[in-house]
Chains A and B, each alone.
Chain A
Amino acid sequence: MATVLSAPSAAAGVDFSLSAEQELLVEQVRRFAEERIRPGVARRDREHRFPAEVIAEMAELGLLGMLVEEAYGGAGADSLTYALAVEEVARVCPSTAVTMSVTNSVCCWPISRFGSDRLKRAALPGLAAGGQLGGFGLTEPGSGSDAGSLRTRAVRDGDSWVLSGEKAWITNAGFASWYVVFASTDPPAGKRGLSAFVVPADAPGFAVGEPEEKLGLRASRTAPLVFADCRIPAGNLLGEEGQGFRIALATLDHSRLGIAAQAVGIHRRALELAVAYARDRVQFGAPIAEHQAIRFKLAQMSTELAAARALTYAAALVSDQPGQAERAGRLAAQAKLYASEAANRACAESLQIHGGNGFHQDYEISRLYRDVRVTTIYEGTSEMQRLVIARVLLRG
Chain B
Amino acid sequence: MEIELTDEQKLLRDTVRRFAEEVVGPRAKEIDESGEFPRDFFDRAGELGLAGVSVPDEHGGAGMDTVSYCLVIEEVSRLCATSGVILSVNNSLVCDPLLKFGNDEQKREFLRPLAAGEKLGCFALTEPGAGSDAAALRSTARRDGDDYVLNGNKVFITNGTDADVALVFASVDLAKKHKGIAAFIVPTGIPGYSHGTHEFKLGVNASGTTELAFTDMRVPARQRLGEEGEGFKIAMATLDGGRIGIAAQAIGIAQAAFEEALAYAQQREQFGHHLADFQAIQFYLADMATEIDAARLLTWKAAWTKDQKKRFTLEAAHAKLFASEMAQRVTNKALQIHGGYGYTKEYNVERYFRDARITEIYEGTSEIQKMVIADWVLHHD
Q: Contact at A299–B321, with CB atoms within 8 Å? A: yes
Q: Within residues 334 to 381 of chain B, which ones have a CB less than 8 A from any CB in chain A?
A: 367, 369-378, 381
CA distance A313 to B298 in the complex (A): 12
Surface stretch bound by A, among B3-11, B151-159, B162-170, B173-181: B3-11
Please, what's the 1-or-0 string for A304-315, where 1 marks a CB less than 8 Å from any CB in chain B?
101110110110
In the assembled complex, A386 has its CB within 8 A of some CB on chain B? yes
Residues of A within 8 A of B291 (CB): 338
Q: State whether the Cβ of B297 lies closer than 8 Å to any Cβ in chain A.
A: yes
Q: Are A331 and B293 in contact (CB under 8 A)?
A: yes
Residue A117 interfacial (CB < 8 Å): no
- Bound CA–CA A389/B318 (angstroms): 25
Question: Which of B289, B372, B376 has the most chain A CB atoms closer than 10 A to its own CB?
Answer: B289
Query: Interface with A: B14-22, B53-61, B204-212, B278-286, which one?
Result: B278-286
Task: Say whether B304 faces chain A, with CB atoms less than 8 Å apart.
Answer: yes
- B294 at interface, CB cutoff 8 A: yes
A257 at the interface (CB under 8 A from B): no
Asked whether any CB of chain B lies closer than 8 Å to the CB of A283, the reply is: no
- Is the Cβ of A15 less than 8 Å from the Cβ of B378? no
- A52 interface residue (CB < 8 Å to B): no
Residue A18 lies at the interface, judged by CB distance under 8 Å to chain B: yes
Residues of chain A within 8 A (CB-CB) of B283 are 383, 386, 390
Q: Which of A132-140, A231-239, A271-279, A357-365 is the interface stretch?
A: A271-279
From B1, B65, B376, A18 is in contact (CB under 8 Å) with: B1
A385 at the interface (CB under 8 A from B): yes
Instruction: Using C-beta atoms within 8 Å of the partner chain, give the interface range for chain B.
Output: 35 or more
Interfacial chain A residues near B125, Cβ < 8 Å? none
Proximity string of chain A (293-304) to chain B, C-beta cutoff 8 Å, 1 when within and 0 when not: 001101110111
A8-23 interface (Cβ within 8 A of B): 8, 10-19
Q: B1 and A275: CB pair below 8 A?
A: no
Residue of A with least CB distance to B381: A275
Residues of B within 8 Å of A189, CB to CB, are: none
CB <8 Å contact, B294 and A275: no
Instruction: Return chain B residues, CB-CB under 8 Å to A5.
Output: none
Which residues from chain B contact A13 at a C-beta distance below 8 Å? Answer: 2, 4-6, 9, 65, 67
Residues of chain B within 8 A of A330, CB atoms compared: 289
Whole-angstrom distance between the alpha carbons of A15 and B287 in the complex?
26
Assess the A275–B290 pair: CB atoms within 8 A. Answer: no
B68 to chain A, nearest CB (A): 9
A11, A14, A18 interface centre (most CB from chain B within 10 Å): A14
In the assembled complex, B132 has its CB within 8 A of some CB on chain A? no
Size range of the chain A interface in the assembly? 35 or more
Q: Which listed residue, A302, A317, A337, touches B290 by the CB 8 Å rule?
A: A337
Contact indicator A299/B369 (Cβ below 8 Å):
yes
* A residues 321-335 in Cβ contact with B at 8 Å: 330-331, 334
B286 contacts which of A18, A295, A313, A393 (Cβ < 8 Å)?
Answer: A393
B2 near A317 with CB under 8 A, answer: yes
B300 contact set on A, CB distance < 8 A = 14, 16
Among B279, B297, B375, the residue within 8 A (CB) of A311 is B297
- Beta-carbon contact of A306 and B4 below 8 Å: no
Chain A nearest CB: distance from B271 CB in Å? 18
List chain B residues, Cβ under 8 A from A307: 294-295, 297-298, 318, 322
Known: A334-B290, A394-B276. A298 touches B1 (CB 8 A): no
Verify if A123 is at the interface (C-beta below 8 Å from B).
no
Report if A387 contacts B (CB, 8 A). Answer: yes
The SS class assigned to the B binding surface is helix
- Decide: A317 near B285, CB < 8 A? Known: A15-B304, A299-B370, A393-B262: no
A38 to B355, CA, bound (A): 49
Q: Are A334 and B293 in contact (CB under 8 A)?
A: yes
Contact assessment for A314 and B3 in the assembled complex, using a CB-CB cutoff below 8 Å: yes
- Shortest distance in angstroms between A5's beta carbon and chain B's nearest beta carbon? 14
Q: CA–CA, A19 to B2, complex, Å?
A: 11
What does the 1/0 interface line of B64-90 toward A look like (CB < 8 Å)? Answer: 010100000000000000000000000
Q: Is A75 an interface residue (CB 8 A)?
A: no
Chain A positions 62-92 with a Cβ under 8 Å from a chain B Cβ:
80
Cross-chain contact B6 with A12 (CB below 8 angstroms)? yes
Residues of A within 8 A of B290 (CB): 311, 334, 337-338, 389
Contact call B286/A303, Cβ cutoff below 8 A: no
User: How far is B266's CA from A269's CA once the two chains are assembled, in angstroms?
Assistant: 42
B122 to chain A, nearest CB (A): 30
A-side interface residues toward B, CB under 8 Å? 7-8, 10-19, 80, 271-272, 275, 278-279, 289, 292, 295-296, 298-300, 302-304, 306-308, 310-311, 313-314, 317-318, 330-331, 334, 337-338, 383, 385-387, 389-390, 393-394
A-binding residues in B (CB < 8 A): 1-7, 9, 65, 67, 262, 266, 276, 279, 282-283, 285-287, 289-291, 293-295, 297-298, 300-301, 303-305, 315, 317-318, 321-322, 367, 369-378, 381
Please give 11 more A-B residue pairs, beta carbons under 8 A apart, in addition to A299-B373, A383-B283. A14-B304, A295-B371, A296-B370, A299-B371, A304-B322, A311-B293, A314-B297, A334-B286, A385-B286, A386-B283, A390-B282
User: 21 A-B residue contacts at CB 8 Å?
Assistant: A10-B2, A10-B7, A12-B2, A12-B4, A12-B6, A13-B67, A14-B5, A16-B300, A17-B1, A295-B371, A295-B374, A298-B373, A298-B374, A299-B370, A302-B376, A306-B318, A310-B298, A314-B297, A334-B289, A334-B290, A337-B286
